[in-house]
Amino acid sequence: MYKFDVIVIGGGHAGAEAAFSIDRAGLSCALITMDESKVGQMSCNPAIGGLGKSHIVREIDAMGGLMAIATDMSGIQYRTLNTRKGDAVQALRVQCDRDLYKKAVQKILNKTNIKIISEEVVDLIISKNSVLGVITKDKRYLSKKTILTTGTFLNGKMYTGRDVISGGRTGEQPSIPLSKKLYGLKLPMGRLKTGTPARIKLSSIDTSKMEDQPGDTPTPWMSISNPPKKHQTQLSCFITRTNKKTHEIIKNNIHLSAMYSGEIQGIGPRYCPSIEDKIFKFQNKDSHQIFIEPEGVKKDLVYPNGISTSLPKETQAEFIRSIKGMENSEITEYGYAVEYDFVDPRSLEKTLQLNSLSNLYLAGQINGTTGYEEAAAQGLIAGINASNNIKKQEEFILDRSESYIGVMLDDLTSHGITEPYRMFTSRAEHRLLLSQNNAQQRLLMKARKIGMVDKETETKFLENERKYKDFVEQTLKKTKTNYFINKKNTKTKLNENKSLYKLLSRNDVNEKKLFKTNQTNEKHYQRAITEIKYSGYIAKQLREINKTKKQNNKKIPKNINYKEISGLSNEVREKLINNKPKTIGGANQIEGITPAALNLILIHIKKGELLKENA
């Protein structure tokens, strides 16, 4: 019999982040995974970040997590996306060396007190509706809390044409007994699907026929808190496209795809479709982009992002070799679709604890999400809340207005999913406040209060904030001028001296020629440009947030009669009567309750209050 504070099942991105947060909380943790050597493995594309996702990675970093650090230890190309758009929606995407990323995660975890165990969990130890630990094929392990992060392994099946293999990843077995256990607990479950493309030898493709896609110069970092001292060797990616011949081959064989033969029942990710989906749904398009992404610095292998497929091997080879620059492709591993079990996330608290079974938390793809970043964020939150509960500290729940992680968890637990959930900036109604560049300002001190961030990182952060404030107050606000260079590079004379701070709020100012930066103040100046430019919009959003919070905290009388409220549909009335929300915010969390319905309830409550006042 073994005892730990927390047991984490699964060594993927969610499991690694969960275990790391528990260790930082000073608690004992066992990470149980089928193969210790695969901890931190990138199952699909070897990249971290991207649109909506880099925001999550920076939030994890601000709260002391490992994903951004592991990314910088293995990053072989850094590119900022959406550079022509505003700061709030710009996103850093990092191509990683697949092997180095896994090694980086393992190196970070090996410096902790986490006990990593290579075994398969086949059952949960349950007593009086509470999880007390796990059973593997050989042993029983007791714990105060258990976190389940099974990824695509829960009754996973891989499809290539009509070939079906049990597994959650190439060469690895699925978790079937655990899946049966969860179904036996009568949890609301379903099946989802994701997929991956073939892997091709870099030496067999002709990149000279493709568009070169270099990284950013100077090379940035994903981690703001603790970047390493030196980057890995930086490589280019390449872009090619499918063509009419490619599409013809796929159309002629689409009936052999597992997705279109009826073999797979699970729902796939709409925003990351297979090549079959693209050609079937967008028949008017003659071509689709393919990003040729290197798998590593010393690896003769590429990941062709954009041609995920479950077609038979011979069809894959034929359509891949019809693509420009890929005519002589040597395929080392064929693409496949993978179908797996998930649990309806509406059965979870916002802490990610299962609401029907105490001491059990779920994180990652088991909750219906897709993507390394979304999984890691859930692992972090599950780990923090499991630790806080053990230490009798309050729940750690992030609001939608303060983080993308908060948006994701609110979406999942309140509304559930109809397809694998992927983060986008458009999901955040307060995204102007949530830049990838201000994650530390939003979350670092919150994480510090619960022990997730060390004193050294806090001191470094506070010192940088002090220097930034001094730069704004002493330099930008006190330096004045009676002219500036505009966007057209012509001199504009002013009627009076104005501070650089005031001038930066103008749209016609050429910021680069307004103030000459140096290595010390360059980052401060760029931050000031953004903050000054958006200050009016941000103030407006903050007012809206405060108004919404005040409204959400409004208590609903215990004796309220929803049948008396004119204008509510029978469906809405039934949901309100069954759920019995205590506040307007609670009513807002119920699926199908519209803003119009909330407004009718507020008016009804106000009328009742006025009647009492006048009685």
Q: Is the pLDDT of residue 273 over 90?
A: no
Q: Are 516 and 593 members of one domain?
A: no
- Domain presence at residue 193: no
Q: Are 513 and 607 members of one domain?
A: no
Q: Are 365 and 342 in contact (CB under 8 A)?
A: yes
Q: Are 210 and 330 members of one domain?
A: yes
Q: Is the pLDDT of residue 270 over 80?
A: no
Q: Are 419 and 269 in contact (CB under 8 A)?
A: yes
Any idea what the CATH number is for the domain that residue 298 is in? 2.40.30.260
- Domain containing 278 equals 199-337
pLDDT, residue 263, reads 67
Contacts for 587 with CB less than 8 Å, ≥ 6 apart: 556, 576, 579, 581, 593, 597, 598, 601
Phi, psi of 228 (to 5 degrees): -65, 175
How confident is residue 580, by pLDDT bands cut at 50, 70 and 90?
confident
Q: What is the DSSP string of 77-129?
A: EEEEE-TTS-GGG-EEEEEE-HHHHHHHHHHHHHTSS-EEEE--EEEEEEETT
How confident is residue 588, by pLDDT bands cut at 50, 70 and 90?
confident
Q: Are 559 and 535 members of one domain?
A: no
pLDDT, residue 149, reads 97
- Domain presence at residue 85: no
Any idea what the CATH number is for the domain that residue 576 is in? 1.10.150.570
Q: Are 491 and 588 members of one domain?
A: no
pLDDT, residue 497, reads 95
272-281, 370-379, 481-490, 528-537: least confidently modelled range: 272-281
Range 276-289 average pLDDT: 91
Distance CA 588, CA 574 (A): 15
Q: Are 512 and 577 members of one domain?
A: no
Range 330-357 average pLDDT: 95
Q: What is the pTM of this model?
A: 0.91
- What is the total count of domains within the chain? 3
How confident is residue 365, by pLDDT bands cut at 50, 70 and 90?
very high
Range 148-164 average pLDDT: 91
Please count the other Cβ atoms lying within 10 Å of the Cβ belonging to residue 373: 29
Domain boundary among 519, 541, 563: 541
Domain boundary among 486, 519, 541: 541
- Domain presence at residue 284: yes
Q: Are 534 and 557 members of one domain?
A: no
- Domain presence at residue 519: yes
Q: Is the pLDDT of residue 261 over 80?
A: no
- Comparing 9 with 580, the larger pLDDT belongs to 9
- Domain presence at residue 294: yes
Q: Are 535 and 590 members of one domain?
A: no
Domain boundary among 286, 308, 337: 337
Distance CA 121, CA 175 (A): 8
- Domain presence at residue 205: yes
- Domain presence at residue 591: yes
pLDDT, residue 138, reads 87
3-state secondary structure of 242: coil
Average pLDDT, the chain: 93
- Domain presence at residue 589: yes
Q: Are 221 and 286 members of one domain?
A: yes
Match 């004379």 to its residue by tokens.
Answer: 493
Q: Are 204 and 329 members of one domain?
A: yes
How confident is residue 615, by pLDDT bands cut at 50, 70 and 90?
low
pLDDT, residue 129, reads 93
